[in-house]
A and B are shown apart, each in its own frame.
Chain A
Amino acid sequence: MDILGRFRRKKQDMPVDSYGAPGSGRSTLISAVTIVVLLFGWWLVTRLGLIKPLFLPAPAQVIGKFEKIACTRYYLEGLWVYLGLIDTPKLECAGFSDSTLLEHTYWSLYRVFSAFFLAVVTAVPIGISMGMNRISRGFFDPLIEFYRPIPPLAYLPLIIIWFGIGEPAKIILIYLSCFAPLAINARAGVRSVSIEQIHAAYSMGASKQQVIWHVVIKAALPEILTGMRVAIAFGWTTLVAAEMVAAKAGLGVMVLNAARFLATDIVFLGIVIIGIIAFMFDLLMRRIERALVPWKGKV
């Protein structure tokens, strides 16, 4: 009742709202309520046995699986041994698909972030050069625009034929999916610099290099960061496809193998972990954005 009351009071407190910019106001509370309702619904539906665990495992079951394949107790026991509280460890670490959850996570993080890193150091300079140079734009634009809408799964076979089934092939696939949004945003960022800023720098005696370095790239920074946020999301999207190629460990492999054994709880677990990592990284990027480009949207 209190929550409902808060919504109602807010409406009365802000009479201008009805004619303000559509969609203004805070939405955090609504998001929190959505998540809580969703989790509760999940729990309730499985509790009442409305859906078989094969299709929708109970929250407790997923958490139990987490404990098992993350080997939390095994590590805890290791800590006890280290502290000298018990003599010999008794538990074993099973994991799933020959790897613990930590190892799966490590491999996926390694693939996504090394591909992302490589994409940032190559695509951003290329995007900037596309924004500033006619020849560069003419050269890269058709290439990027051609491959960009193609689903990574479609060119995955080609990547395997060309680069084999090792780590490079996986990283290249993720790299390609990160590349296009980074380059396109960097290019748009360069375009967003105002002609007045460039003219002002020239009339203060700037050289062309100084204008590029001190004005154009700085002005492009907000959109480069936006590009990074979009790119990392594409990277996670492509991860599962990349790990279809003979990967031993990885969250994508874990999910694929679990599906083969109809272990729905592990599928859930993999999805939730990927989601949480991606979300945390996005929160981090938003922080970096606020610290690095505090003027964004204010000029």
Chain B
Amino acid sequence: MTAILKLDHVNVVYPSTTGGESVRALDNICIDFQPEEFVVALGASGCGKTTLLNVMAGFIPPTSGTIALKDKPIHGPGKDRGVVFQKHALLPWLNVIQNVGFGLKLQGVGQKERREIALANLNLVGLSDFETHPIYQLSGGMQQRVGLARALTSDPEILLMDEPLGALDAFTRESMQELILKVWDKTHKTVFFITHSIEEALFMATRLIVMSPRPGRITHEYDLKFCREFIAGTDTRKIKSSPEFIKIREEILAIIHGEELLEELG
């Protein structure tokens, strides 16, 4: 099967601004995303997660290496890769449905069709009652749901989510995790999701990649099935408190702490 998105030996080096050493943000990254995979990148800040997402979205060109979407190399951003940001990405001069239909408007889709598609996606995230609300009156969780609906509206091959739940409170966060998994199940999209919450990463991923900083690289990979259990109907709390979940959580914690310790020892 062709990979949806394939990164081949991708390096990103930021030239130094202060005259010191240049920064290797990404070091020799190779990943391929299979259809309907939910790939989660986990790591402490500065490990290159966001750079990785920006390279995949096309916002940053790699210093070397290639990125291909269904075997075609990508140059710059495009609507085949939908992006959900942590915050500040909605357009406050547009209301909810205008934000969701914004991409279609740019492509010259007619008013009626635009509304239809946008409403369907709003429905998917459970916000169809808020169609005409102004963005700035919505809560943080609702704004992220609008962001998700907007990214889905272009019907992208892959959804790139850059810590979409990072700014939310713990309660909203958990219900948003469930919502995103349900949307993933319904739309069969391939997802790349960044987080620095171990629990969130384990719960949501079909494949988990653990990254570590200086230089930014992938150190561990896990194939997981907790999200499948949730889709099959198991209760979230039951999954997150199961012995296997806790075992792997502690294992990853140990890895990350071990790296921090190594780092301190130099």
User: Interface on A for B, CB 8 Å cutoff?
Assistant: 194, 196-197, 199-207, 210, 214-215, 218-219, 221, 293-295, 298-299
Contact = CB atoms under 8 A, between A and B. Distances in A.
A294 B95 CA distance: 12
A281 B145 CA distance: 41
Given A294-B134, A295-B92, A202 B77 contact: yes
B59 to A, nearest CB: 6
A205 B134 contact: no
Interface string B81-106: 11101111111110000000011001
B134 A196 contact: no
Contacts of B121: none
B150 interface: yes
B89 to A, nearest CB: 4
Contact of B136 (A196, A201, A202, A295): A295
A200 B89 contact: yes
A165 B176 CA distance: 69
Interface in B48-94: 57-59, 76-79, 81-83, 85-93
Nearest to A194: B88
A201 B136 CA distance: 18
B195 interface: no
A293 B134 CA distance: 11
A217 to B, nearest CB: 10
A189 B84 CA distance: 24
A203 B106 contact: no
A299 B136 CA distance: 6
Contacts of A295: 92-93, 134-136
Contact of A203 (B57, B107, B135): B57
Given A197-B89, A221-B93, 17 more contacts: A196-B87, A196-B88, A197-B88, A199-B57, A199-B59, A201-B102, A201-B106, A203-B77, A204-B153, A205-B79, A205-B103, A206-B103, A215-B91, A294-B134, A295-B92, A295-B135, A295-B136
Nearest to A210: B106
Nearest to A296: B92
Given A210-B106, A298-B136, A204 B88 contact: no
Nearest to A199: B59
A68 to B, nearest CB: 50
Contacts of A210: 106
A162 B251 CA distance: 80
Nearest to B83: A203
Given A295-B134, A299-B136, A196 B106 contact: no
Most chain B CB inside 10 Å of its own CB: which residue of A197, A205, A215: A205
B106 A204 contact: yes
Contact of B78 (A203, A215, A219, A293): A203
Contacts of A221: 93
25 contacts: A194-B89, A196-B85, A196-B86, A197-B88, A197-B89, A199-B57, A200-B83, A200-B85, A200-B150, A201-B102, A202-B77, A203-B81, A203-B82, A203-B151, A204-B82, A204-B154, A205-B78, A206-B106, A214-B106, A215-B91, A218-B91, A219-B91, A298-B136, A299-B88, A299-B92
Most chain B CB inside 10 Å of its own CB: which residue of A196, A210, A221: A196
Interface residues of B, number: 31
B36 to A, nearest CB: 21
A293 B93 contact: yes
Contacts of A200: 83, 85, 89-90, 150
B81 to A, nearest CB: 6
B163 to A, nearest CB: 12
Contacts of B91: 197, 214-215, 218-219
Nearest to B78: A205
Nearest to B93: A218
B225 to A, nearest CB: 30
Contacts of A218: 91, 93
B180 to A, nearest CB: 18
B2 to A, nearest CB: 22
Nearest to B85: A196
Contacts of A194: 88-89
A127 to B, nearest CB: 19
Contact of B59 (A202, A205, A219): A202
A210 to B, nearest CB: 5
Contact of B92 (A199, A202, A205, A298): A298
Contacts of A215: 91
Nearest to B162: A196
A156 B262 CA distance: 70
Contacts of B82: 203-204
Contacts of B134: 294-295
A204 B134 CA distance: 21
Contacts of A199: 57, 59, 77, 83, 85, 89
